[in-house]
Amino acid sequence: MSSVMDPTKVTYLRPTSVAEAVDALRTSDGARPIAGGTDLMVQVRLGRRRPDTVVDLSAVDGLAELSEERIGAGVTMRRLLASEHAAAAWPALVEAARLLGGRQIQAMATVGGNLCNASPAAESATPLLVHDATARIAGPDCVRAVPLEEFWSGPGQTVLGPGELLIAVTLPATAGRSAYRRIELRRSVDIAVVSAAARLEIVDGAVAQARVAIGAAAPTPRRVVAAEQVLEGVAVGPDLERAINQAAVLAGDACVPIDDTRATARYRTAMIPVLVSRALAACVP
């Protein structure tokens, strides 16, 4: 057995503050941050990433803070699963955390890592999209905020520039229920074939605000605004059932999936409407 990373080729840095972490990430273009390690260690082992500098974020002060409107990038799935506030405020996110890996992975995998790994299938992505999350990014010069739907630029790619670090996502207080649904090949410890998250805020018997997001159906997780628009203003009852069907079809239209080992593009496109209606139906009280 050999070590996953080669010490003659990789520099290990362990900053203790965000400012130090930003400095550390700027030491090399080949620097990668590492938090729980559940993606990066595997990618290095499989030769998919070859960082020359690994910046360990686990000692960075404040990254793992969890509050009512802010999830630090270092918050683990296990922390979300243990949080009463998360269960009440962001049910879709907690459902997704429960489906992300087994207990071993949930103990280490972080929200920031999941978002920055930028998989189109990232479990926490669509739930955070339907909760209107904003990415808080620290950089060499300033801190900036980016709406989460603009955070990804492609599979495995984010808008993070050199020396920039995702430090948290912030979420406005949102009302209503949210839900997460996915299709997988194996019930546990598997990556979503396709996924969907939804949130409906219902005021006086009608939808005041709707959110729909789809995963593993396009190069990045994405919101489907057209689907949201046909839901808003609709009264709960048969009208909403019809609108959910329409929204599901529109979500299917928004798919730009690929064929891969898990499924064909055609299957993904066919399944997204199914998942979107299931997620929306779960949001109706």
Partner 1 sequence: MTDHDATPDLTGPDLSESYALSINGRDREVADAWLGESLLYVLRERLGLPGSKNACEQGECGSCSVMMDGLLVNSCCVLAADAVDADVRTVEGLAPDGTLTDVQQAFLDAGAVQCGFCIPGLIVSVHDLLDRAPQPDELEVREAISGNLCRCTGYGRILQAVQDVAAARTAADAQEDRP
Return residues touching partner 1 (CB under 8 A).
Answer: 1-5, 7, 10-16, 20, 23-24, 26-29, 34, 36-38, 41-42, 45-46, 54, 56, 58, 78, 101-105, 107-108, 162-163, 187-189
Least distance (Å) from partner 1 to the CB of residue 98? 9
Least distance (Å) from partner 1 to the CB of residue 217? 24
For residue 264, the SS3 value is coil
Question: E strands within the chain?
Answer: 11-13, 31-34, 53-56, 70-72, 134-138, 143-147, 152-154, 157-158, 165-170, 177-183, 194-203, 206-215, 222-223
Radius of gyration of the chain (CA): 19
- Which tokens hold the place of 279? 């997620």
Q: Are strands 11-13 and 53-56 parallel, antiparallel or unpaired?
A: parallel
Output 143-151 pairs: Cβ under 8 A, ≥24 positions apart: 143/167, 145/170, 148/115, 149/222, 149/223, 151/115
Among candidate residues 193, 255, 178, the one with its CA nearest the CA of residue 224: 255
Q: Which is nearer to partner 1, 81 or 236 (CB)?
A: 81
Among candidate residues 104, 264, 130, the one with its CA nearest the CA of residue 194: 264
Distance of alpha carbon 102 from alpha carbon 190, whole angstroms:
9
Q: Which residues contact 147 (CB under 8 A, 6 or more apart)?
A: 132, 134, 135
Distance of alpha carbon 209 from alpha carbon 193, whole angstroms:
28
Q: Which is nearer to partner 1, 107 or 284 (CB)?
A: 107
Distance of alpha carbon 32 from alpha carbon 30, whole angstroms:
7
Q: Which is nearer to partner 1, 1 or 88 (CB)?
A: 1
Least distance (Å) from partner 1 to the CB of residue 28? 6
Least distance (Å) from partner 1 to the CB of residue 187? 8
Least distance (Å) from partner 1 to the CB of residue 20? 6
Q: Which is nearer to partner 1, 1 or 173 (CB)?
A: 1
Distance of alpha carbon 276 from alpha carbon 91, whole angstroms:
16
Q: Which is nearer to partner 1, 22 or 171 (CB)?
A: 22
Least distance (Å) from partner 1 to the CB of residue 100? 11
Least distance (Å) from partner 1 to the CB of residue 102? 2
Q: Which is nearer to partner 1, 34 or 234 (CB)?
A: 34
Least distance (Å) from partner 1 to the CB of residue 248? 30
Q: Which is nearer to partner 1, 4 or 282 (CB)?
A: 4
- Which tokens hold the place of 160? 């993070």
Q: Which is nearer to partner 1, 186 or 285 (CB)?
A: 186
